[in-house]
Amino acid sequence: MLLLPWYVTGEIELGDRLLVDAHLAVCEECSMELAAERRLRDAVADLPPPHAGGWDRMAEDLSRADRTPRLPRRFSRRVGWIIAAQAAVVVLGLGVILQLQQQATTSVSSAPYHALGSPPPSQSGNILVMFAPETREPALRKAIESSGARLVDGPTAAGAYLLAIAPEQREAALARLRAAAGVTMAQPVDAAP
């Protein structure tokens, strides 16, 4: 799942976060991948920066090294430290990749593959809803929960969300959505029951 690194660091947009939340609720494989991403984040958080003086100082050291026939002793130690740090990151990354591949091969036989944007196999959406651009996440969540519907997909490029609800409850859910603050459109996408 490509959005998990941003989800773990909190650098994910609201619509994508809602989509990942909904998917994680039904996908055990992606929940395990989320746990691995969190372990990776925690493992690299304690690593020191690759160069104590930042990129500007490293560029300055490199430019000085180009003018001198020999590398200064101080610089050569830094280069060794940088190479060792990079090697450690590569080894750590390979270990995580191998672990994720092993988890993926063991779980492939137990669960069918489905993409993040795919609705759960048992149910697809039957209501399309759009919110005013200034609608905040708590109001969006409240409108969906109070209608009794479940988020299946969204937001689309046009800002629409696909919701799922039992066909016999659809009309009541549409009425609640249309009355909710921030909702600009709520329409069925299937035939009336």
Alpha-carbon span 162 to 155, nearest angstrom: 8
Alpha-carbon span 134 to 137, nearest angstrom: 10
Q: Which H helix or E strand runs over 55?
A: helix 54-67
Q: Do residues 116 and 1 touch, judged by C-beta distance below 8 A?
A: yes
| Band (43; pLDDT cuts 50, 70, 90) | confident
- Give the pLDDT confidence score for residue 131 in this predicted structure: 93
More confident residue, 76 or 190: 190
> pTM of the prediction?
0.38
- Give the pLDDT confidence score for residue 116 in this predicted structure: 64
- Give the pLDDT confidence score for residue 86 in this predicted structure: 87
Alpha-carbon span 66 to 64, nearest angstrom: 5
Alpha-carbon span 26 to 8, nearest angstrom: 18
Which pair of tokens denotes residue 102?
């092993």
Tell me the three state secondary structure of residue 163. strand
- Per residue in 45-97, pLDDT tens? 776 666 566 677 777 777 765 555 555 555 566 667 778 788 888 888 888 88
Which of 147-180 are b and which e, b meaning 16 or more Cβ less than 10 Å from the residue's Cβ? bebbbbbbbeeeebbbbbbeeeebeebbebbeeb
Work out the average pLDDT over 118-127.
66
User: How do strand 127-131 and strand 150-153 relate by DSSP bridges?
Assistant: unpaired
- Give the pLDDT confidence score for residue 178 in this predicted structure: 93
- Ramachandran category for residue 148: left, alpha or beta (phi over 0 → left; psi -120 to 50 → alpha): left
- Give the pLDDT confidence score for residue 111 in this predicted structure: 52
Q: Which of 113, 154, 150 is nearest to 13 (CA)?
A: 154
- Give the pLDDT confidence score for residue 189 in this predicted structure: 85
Work out the average pLDDT over 138-160.
89
- Give the pLDDT confidence score for residue 70 in this predicted structure: 55
